[in-house]
Amino acid sequence: MLKARSSNKKVSYKKIPYKEVCETSPGVDNKKIWVKISRLLIRYITRIIGYKKSINILNFISNLLALSNNNSKNLHYIKYLFEINKSRLEYLYSLSKNELVEAVYKKNIWAETVLEKSYSLRSRLNAKAYLSLLSEYGFFKSEIDRLNCEFRKETNKKFYIYGPNAKSEPSLKYKDYTLVLMKPMKSDSLTFQEKLLFINSSYYVDVVSKDSNIKRELIDNHDKVYVSCRESVLDNNFYRAKFPLVDNISGAMGLGRVLYNLMHTYGKFSCVVEGFDFYLDGVPYGDYYPSLTRQKDNSLSEQVICSGLAYHDALYNFLYVKSIINHLEVIDSYDFKKVIANTGKEYFSALSKARNFRTLGNI
C-alpha cells in the first residue's frame, strides 16, 4: 500500500487568482463583447464569493440561457462557457475539500459536456482521451474506445530518466545509458555517454531565452535540448518536443511527456526511472532541482503545486504513465515501481495525505 513520505522542509502558500476556462475554435471569438463579458463575469464572481456560491449562480445563469430559442453559434458558446465552468468549479470545490475521488466524478461530467457540445476538435479529443483512460481503470462508467497510439518499432537504446525528487545524484552504474534530465543540473559526475534535456515552456521563456550564457551552456552540455511548448519561437539548437494531447480537461506532466517523446522517436525501449513519485513526498522537488515554484526564501508554494496537479489532473497523469509503462522494460527503479504498481484509488489515498488541496480554496 502506498505511503506518503513526510519532510521537515518548508512548503509555503501563495495565492493564485482564479481564471475561467475557454476554448479556441474556428468561428469563436473569445474577445467578442458578450463572450468577454461572460468570461469576466465567471472570473470575478468566483474570485469574490468563492466556489460554492459561484456554482449556484453559474447554474442559474446556465438554466436561464437554456430557455432562449436563439440558436446562434455565439449564444451556444456562451451557454457552453457557463456550463463547463460550473462543472470545473464543482471539480475544484471537491478538490479544495480534499475529496479527490468525488472530484473525479465531477470532472467526468465536465468531460462529457465537452465531448457532446464543444466546437473545438482538440477539446473533444482531449475529453475522449481522458474519459477512455479513466474508463480503462474503472473511474468512468461507460466504455470509450481508446485513441490509436500503438508503438510498433523498438530500439536497443536504454534511457536513464532522472527526475525532480531523486535522493542521490545520477548513478554511474548506468553511464552507458542515455541520461534524460528534466532541468539542467550542475554536477561533475554527469559523465554519461549521451545526455538529453527536456525543459518546459515556462523555464525556457522565463530563464533560458533571456540569458545567452545559459543558452550556450545548455547546448554545450547536452546532446539535444527539447522544449515542451507549442507557440514560443525557439532559438537554434533547441528542439520543440512532441506533445501528447492536452487541453483544459487534462494534460501529461513531465514524465508522461518525456515517455511520449521517447516512444515516438525511438519506439519501445528499456529504461531506469528515478526521482519520480507523483508528488507523494511532502516536498516534491529536491534542492538540486531549479523549479520556478520556488520563492525567494527557497520554499515551495503548496498552492502552486496543487494548482498544477488540478490543471493537468493528478490521476490522469498517474494512469497515463501507468499505461505507457506497460509497453516498456523498466530496469531496477525500485521506488518508482512501488508507486506505479498501485491502483488509482491507492494513489489518491496517498496523495490526499501528501498534498494540501485545501489551499485551492484560497482564490
| pLDDT one-digit tens code per residue, 29-60 | 899 999 999 999 999 999 999 999 999 999 99
pLDDT for position 319: 96
Nearest to 299 by CA among 312, 310, 309, 285: 285
| Count of domains observed in the chain | 1
Say if CB 190 and CB 170 are below 8 A apart.
yes
Determine the average pLDDT of the residues in 185-210: 83
CA distances from 83 to 78, 114, 208, 216, 278 (A): 9, 10, 39, 48, 31
pLDDT for position 11: 47
The rounded distance, in Å, linking the Cα atoms of 28 and 121 is 13
Other C-beta atoms closer than 10 Å to the C-beta of 205 total: 14
pLDDT at 347 over 60: yes
pLDDT for position 363: 76
Determine the average pLDDT of the residues in 199-208: 86
Q: Which domain holds residue 350?
A: 1-363
The rounded distance, in Å, linking the Cα atoms of 28 and 26 is 6
Determine the average pLDDT of the residues in 59-82: 90
Helix (H) or strand (E) segment spanning residue 227: strand 224-228
Determine the average pLDDT of the residues in 326-354: 94
Nearest to 234 by CA among 204, 206, 259, 256: 204
- pLDDT > 70 fraction of the chain, expressed in percent and rounded: 88
pLDDT for position 188: 59
Lowest pLDDT segment from 240-244, 280-284, 296-300, 331-335 = 296-300
What 3-state class would DSSP assign to 281?
A: strand
Helix (H) or strand (E) segment spanning residue 76: helix 73-96
CA atoms within 13 A on the CB side of 127: 20
pLDDT for position 4: 46
pLDDT band at 27 (very low <50, low <70, confident <90, very high): confident
pLDDT for position 5: 44
pLDDT band at 323 (very low <50, low <70, confident <90, very high): very high
Is the four-CA dihedral 48, 49, 51, 53 of positive or negative sign?
negative
Determine the average pLDDT of the residues in 325-344: 94
| pLDDT one-digit tens code per residue, 83-122 | 999 999 999 999 999 999 999 999 999 999 999 999 999 9
Dihedral class, residue 172 (left if φ above 0, else alpha if ψ from -120 to 50, else beta) = alpha
| pLDDT one-digit tens code per residue, 147-160 | 555 666 889 999 99
CA atoms within 13 A on the CB side of 116: 9
The rounded distance, in Å, linking the Cα atoms of 270 and 331 is 7
The rounded distance, in Å, linking the Cα atoms of 124 and 146 is 13
- pLDDT > 90 fraction of the chain, expressed in percent and rounded: 59
The rounded distance, in Å, linking the Cα atoms of 82 and 41 is 10
pLDDT at 286 over 60: yes
pLDDT for position 25: 84
pLDDT at 261 over 70: yes
pLDDT for position 145: 64
pLDDT at 10 over 80: no
Is the four-CA dihedral 22, 139, 103, 273 of positive or negative sign?
negative
pLDDT at 79 over 70: yes
Determine the average pLDDT of the residues in 50-72: 92
pLDDT for position 6: 41
Mean pLDDT of the chain: 87
Helix (H) or strand (E) segment spanning residue 224: strand 224-228
pLDDT for position 295: 66
